Amino acid sequence: MHIISIADLSVDDIYGILELAEDLKKKRKEGVVTDYLKNKSLAMIFEKSSTRTRVSFEVGMTDLGGHGVYLDPGMMQLGRGETLPDTAKILSGYVHGIMIRAKSHDTVIEIAKNATVPVVNGLTDHEHPCQALADLMTIRERKGYIEGLRFAWIGDGNNVCHSLILASAMTGMKMSVACPKGYEPDTNVVKKAQAMGGDIEVTNDPKAAAMDADVLYTDVWVSMGDEAEKDKRLKDLRDYQINMGLVKLAKKDCVVLHCLPAHRGQEITDDVMKCKNSAIFEQAENRLHVQKALLVKLIGNNARA
């Protein structure tokens, strides 16, 4: 089984991962050994820079008794012209799973087509399923449930937004995506979510999206790969900031999320990052726990204690 999109999981899969992640989080804090992936190895290919993804996967494999192998394409034969299919086949003979953080979504698809071990999308230009799982876990921790919540995305309709649109449809959240014109999410993703029964609205009005929301979410205005458009993006997205004025439009106990890294004063203000509604650093920690649960599901030997 490969996890290229959050939609590669069933609803039961998602809730199973969240339950296991909560259990693993509790066990880690109690110092309980969870060597469910003893003698297992994960190849971790990084075409893009990373803090959370690299550390959470590498530490996660160690926590589970396994080993994460960091691979920089520039230091691999990929950098000298070896093909993706050959790389996938070779790694499949060494490791039990492959995680790749890629510039292009097509790269992950090509690896998955040729690998004989599970492949996990650690981020592409189209989706970020591991982040969406961490977001769902954080929402459930703060709210106690997911279905029926009002979720507001403010800003660029990017890769994280795509995964959350699908995740919202799968878990029964009502999602409003507020973007300036030209920054809307992929219409195919929205249509796919709606075909799943999702209640998805795309608007250009951030205040309307934030009104009575249970969750407010934003991401950087200039994602990796968009640096050449920086000045234009900062101008176009300047009215799509989560600040205390927007927080006050949402429900009093709304949860504020950001997948990080944050540019304080751009997409989110410093006071919102620090306010009681913010679960941003819990959200970052939860990347570790949901990814551990996902790895147990994908490459474990039904090893859940």
Residue 48 dihedral angles phi and psi, to the nearest 5°? -125, 155
Catalytic residue positions?
Answer: 101, 128, 131, 219, 259, 287
CATH topology of domain 6-128+285-299: Rossmann fold (3.40.50)
Question: What Cα–Cα distance (Å) separates residue 201 from each residue in 6, 171, 176?
Answer: 19, 16, 5
Among the ranges given (109-118, 165-174, 181-190, 293-302), the one the predictor scored with the smallest mean pLDDT: 293-302
Confidence of residue 227 (pLDDT cuts 50, 70, 90): confident
pLDDT in the model for residue 250: 98
Q: Report whether pLDDT(269) > 70.
A: yes
Confidence of residue 303 (pLDDT cuts 50, 70, 90): very low
Residue 116 dihedral angles phi and psi, to the nearest 5°? -105, 10
Rounded to an integer, what is the distance from CA 98 to the centroid of its chain? 17
129-282 CATH: 3.40.50.1370
Confidence of residue 225 (pLDDT cuts 50, 70, 90): confident
Contact assessment for residue 132 and residue 257, using Cβ atoms and an 8 Å cutoff? no
Measured between alpha carbons, how far is 135 from 132 in angstroms, rounded to an integer?
5
236's enclosing H/E stretch is helix 230-236
Q: What is the mean pLDDT of residues 271-276?
A: 97
Q: Can you name the residues that pair with 264 across neighbouring β-strands?
A: 268
Chain region(s) in the chain for CATH 3.40.50.1370: 6-128+285-299, 129-282
Coarse DSSP helix, strand, coil percentages of the chain, rounded to the nearest 5 percent: 45, 15, 35
| pTM of the full structure | 0.95
251: amino acid identity, one letter: K
- Three-state DSSP string of 6-49: HHHCCHHHHHHHHHHHHHHHHHHHHCCCCCCCCCCEEEEEECCC
